[in-house]
Structure 1
Amino acid sequence: MKTAHELVVEAKQQIAEIGLDDAELAVQRADVVIDVREPDEYQSGHLPGAINIPRGMLEFRLSNDDKLSARDLNLVLYCKTSGRAALSALSLKAMGYLHVLSIAGGFDAWVNADKPVTHPNLPDFE
């Protein structure tokens, strides 16, 4: 039986993973940037322009949204440290998506490199 770590290592051997040096340009050129973290993680901060589609809903959302169903979209995926994004990229590759990139090191690496982060405007209930 394989562990989650082993699955991620195998996925990373089969996908296109980009480092931070290339990530900012890839994000700018992407048709869609997808944050595959959970909604609470996304709400705490995310890459500018990213949409949130949690890992568990990714295949369903892309299959059922006409704007996301084109297989030639330029997609950039990320999660906290890159494991969920790698598994997501492998799934999208299996679905026939042609241009899927995963950011090595994920959101944590992005933040540690002082790259731009967006914090959503939430209502103040006080």
Structure 2
Amino acid sequence: MTANDLVADACTRIRQIDAMALHAMTEAPLLIDVREPGEFAAGHLPGAVNLPRGVLEFAIEAHPALACETSPTLADRSRHLVVYCLSGGRAALATDSLQRLGFRKVECLIGGFTGWTGAGLPVEGA
């Protein structure tokens, strides 16, 4: 099995959203950028938080942007999340992992940051 096989397998279990549909949403989900910190600093979607793929499963519970109202040490698993990376592979794997951790409303951005910028949509930090 290859990394691409793993991504393709994850894509059979996750929901995906394209850049234009995400941009058009009236209620913005929490955007999770799973790229490395240097990639994030070079440019990211407006309002995104950086949780690198390598630490996502370990750091998701403690991230303040995801805290439950009733328990600041637990992540709100009902919150709408959209996960992205550079092109979609890492985000697909991350989305699959988040679903397995019990997050119920999580989607993967089709084409990732590349798809977003290719559609001419705004970025921060660039």
TM-score after normalising by structure 1: 0.87
**Does residue 15 of the first structure (1) align with residue 14 of the second (2)?**
yes
Partner residue of 1:47? Answer: 45
Name the SS for the 1:55 alignment partner: coil
Equivalent of 1:111, from 112, 117, 126?
117
Pairwise CA distance, 1:24: 1.1
Aligned equivalents of 1:82, 1:27: Cα separation in 2: 23
Q: Is the 8 A contact 2:33 2:85 kept in 1?
A: yes
- CA separation in 2, counterparts of 1:21 and 1:81? 15
State the shift of 1:67 in Å. Answer: 4.7
Over the matched positions of the two proteins, sequence identity in percent amounts to 42
Q: With the length of structure 2 as denominator, give the TM-score of the two structures.
A: 0.87
Max radius of gyration: which structure?
1
Give the Cα–Cα distance (whole angstroms) in 2 for the partners of residues 64 and 57 of structure 1: 11
Name the one with the larger helix percent: 1
Shift, 1:65, TM fit:
3.5
Q: Where in structure 1 are there 5+ consecutive unaligned residues?
A: 121-126
In the aligned structure 2, how far is the partner of 1:110 from the partner of 1:27?
17
> Distance in 1 between the 2:102 and 2:36 partners?
24
Residue 106 of structure 2 aligns to a residue in which SS?
Answer: strand
Give the whole-Å Cα distance in 2 for the aligned partners of 1:29 and 1:65.
18
Question: Alpha carbon RMSD of aligned pairs, Å?
Answer: 1.6
Query: How many angstroms apart in 2 are the aligned matches of 1:49 and 1:40?
Result: 17
Q: Call closer, same or farther: CA 1:34–1:27 in 2, change over 3 Å.
A: farther
Unpaired stretches in structure 2, ≥5 consecutive residues? 67-74
Q: How far does the alpha carbon of each residue in 1:71-105 deviate from its partner, in whole angstroms, 9 at most, with x for none? A: 10110110000000000000000000000011000
Matches within 5 A, 1:25-104: 25-26=24-25, 28-30=27-29, 32-65=30-63, 67-68=65-66, 69-104=75-110
